[in-house]
Amino acid sequence: MDAVAGSDGIGVLDLQGGVQEHLDHLRRVGVAARPIKRAADLAGLAGLIIPGGESTCLSRLLNIFGLDTAIRQAHGKGLKLWGTCAGAILLARENVGETPFLGLIDVAVNRNAFGSQLDSFNREALAPTVAREPIPLTFIRAPKIVRAGEEVRVLLRLDDYIAAAEDDRILVTVFHPELTPSLAFHRYFARKCGLNVAGDDAGLDPDWTPLSWTRFSLHV
């Protein structure tokens, strides 16, 4: 798919959560990336990442700053979206037992499906559409996607739940790709946005560490 006309890269919603880690991964794949704090910041973007964090807090901040309406409007004009963990909850059309928020992709999520923060875990899995090799996955107080609509493609199914899915303009993952050395999902989303990326989908970035993002934190 083509990028939005005049687009200048991918933004990361900068209200709460893993903002710098996403920016680091995007820059590692050669994509222009910037934090997004205001509705005006959305202008010219090809894509927007809504990162993990706390979904209730994020929804309130989006509402306070008018970004919920702005994101819906920009998405209607072609902006691609990717929600990771809490971001996936905010984008889902159905939130089991709770009121959905943005409701832009036809999936149902079950918030905190794995339990508390202490039940966070790591594992590996193969998502053939995204990468040729197994990808490391980090789950932190993660939701589960428990239903996907007819127009939604399942990219990764694990056990009794869907871990990654997409439609033509939205990607959702219940794990945190930005907290691993794998750049596969960031490359995949950038291509979904119509952008060129560096490198290929195989393997891990040997230069990445859990603190790599700090080299950019003073420059955004």
Q: What is the mean pLDDT of residues 195-218?
A: 73
Q: What is the mean pLDDT of residues 130-138?
A: 94
Q: Residue 107 has what pLDDT? A: 98
pLDDT at 179 over 90: yes
DSSP string computed for the chain: -PPPTT---EEEE-SSSSHHHHHHHHHHTT--EEEE-SGGGGTT-SEEEE-SS-HHHHHHHHHHTTHHHHHHHHHHTT-EEEEETHHHHHHEEEETTB--SS--EEEEEETTTT-SGGG-EEEEE--TTT-SS-EEEEESS--EEEEE-TTPEEEEEETTEEEEEE-SSEEEESS-GGGSS--HHHHHHHHHTT---SS-SSS--TT--TTGGGGTTT--
Span 79-131, pLDDT tens digits: 999 999 999 999 999 999 899 999 999 999 998 777 667 668 899 999 999 99
> Which is higher by pLDDT, 92 or 198?
92
Q: Please give the Cα distance from 86 to 144 (Å, whole number).
A: 11
Q: Residue 217 has what pLDDT? A: 56
pLDDT at 1 over 50: no
Q: Please pick, among 25, 85, 186, 193, the residue that the annotation labels catalytic.
A: 85
Annotated active-site residue 94? The verdict is no
Rounded percentage of the chain residues whose pLDDT exceeds 70 = 90
Q: Residue 95 has what pLDDT? A: 94
**Stated pTM of the model:** 0.90
Q: Please pick, among 22, 25, 75, 178, the residue that the annotation labels catalytic.
A: 178
Annotated active-site residue 176? The verdict is yes
Q: Which domains does the chain have, with CATH numbers?
A: 10-215 (3.40.50.880)
Annotated active-site residue 75? The verdict is no
